[in-house]
Amino acid sequence: MSHTVAAPGISGGWLRGRDFDLGMIGGVLLLALGLGWLANTGASWFALVLWADFWFIAYPHVASMWTRVVFDRASARRHWFLWAGLPPLVLLGTASLAHLGGALVLNTLYYHWQSYHYTRQSYGIARVYQRTGGATERDWLTDAVVFAFPIWGWLHRCAQGSTNFFGGPLSLPAVPAAVANSVGALAVLLLGVWVARTRWDRPAHAWFVLSHVLLTFVSYIAVTEITRGWIFVNIWHNAQYLLFVWARNTRRFEGRADTHPLSVAWLCQPRNWVAYSAVCLALSTVGFGLLRVSAEGMAVWGIGAGLVLHQALNFHHYIVDAVIWRSPRGALIASPAGAGRQALSGRVGDGP
């Protein structure tokens, strides 16, 4: 296992500064734990929290993805297939899966894919924090910790034999409890080694990894029921993504003097965060409103159009994210001092 090599003079390894990063790490963690706990106090509270999550966090988090794809001419030209060619293909594929396997196939595919997608976001942000803190080598121990806890959680759910997710059928592979417990013991052991080895003089990366471990444990292990556990990680993922994309966009356009009102460069100036948030909320409200209207009078091969459209949107989001955040294999930070700038701009840094 390689050790992280940190450059001197980089204090804390913050992405945009102590206050912002504490909000993205600690604030989002408290938000997810608080709302998740509230949702678990009763069915009516769960419905209310789920509605608030979807409308004010989940839908805008998908809208924020589009700020990297179509909000400026260069991005729209570079990613034309993602916004013009891919959506009908994903919709056709999702509808075909619904026709062949019904809600069982869609629910099962969503549960497994979102589990990986959420983990991949944590892995990407952890890598960015490593580079911002001055790391010049890959830290395999941190990577192992980041993946070990979600794998443990997934195996734990499989060992539980859950067959229902959000009121619909779910298929999970049969896993002996001993296997899940063994992986859990390994995850805890890796965490212990990681804690003993971690340099706490640059706390941003360490705090982020610990927040990931805690939230994953609560969502997949501590909360018994699978859907009520999911609400924790969903809120955490969505809110975290919103703030990370904001940090990336502000770094990309910060200091632009040639910005016009409501252009992406103007919206992404730090002082215009309210306007940026309002635009994301407005776009998500219109977009998902249109989805609901489209679904009301439709049916797709006997499966409700609402489920097909909603899952097609999720699957498209997962695919686009996998493309726009991936850096070329082997791309390394040349200078530790430039880690933060490079990690938050362009196609560098294994992002969410």
- Dump pLDDT digits (tens) for 204-258: 899 999 999 999 999 999 999 999 999 999 999 999 999 999 888 888 877 765 6
**Distance separating alpha carbons of residues 202 and 325, to the nearest angstrom:** 25
Q: Is residue 3 part of a domain?
A: no
pLDDT value at position 191? 97
Is residue 8 predicted with pLDDT exceeding 80?
no
Residues 6+ apart with CB under 8 A from 335: none
Q: Is residue 153 part of a domain?
A: yes
Q: Is residue 349 part of a domain?
A: no
Token reading at 345: 């701009």
Q: Whole-prediction pTM value?
A: 0.84
Q: Is residue 1 part of a domain?
A: no
Q: How many domains does the chain have?
A: 1
Other beta carbons within 10 angstroms of residue 65's beta carbon come to 22
Q: Is residue 5 part of a domain?
A: no
Token reading at 279: 């635009």
Strands (E), 187-300: 299-300
Q: Is residue 219 part of a domain?
A: yes
Q: Is residue 222 part of a domain?
A: yes
Which residues span the domain enclosing 113? 18-343
Q: Helices 86-132 and 305-324: crossing angle, nearest 10°?
A: 40
Q: Is residue 78 part of a domain?
A: yes
| Three-class SS state of 334 | coil
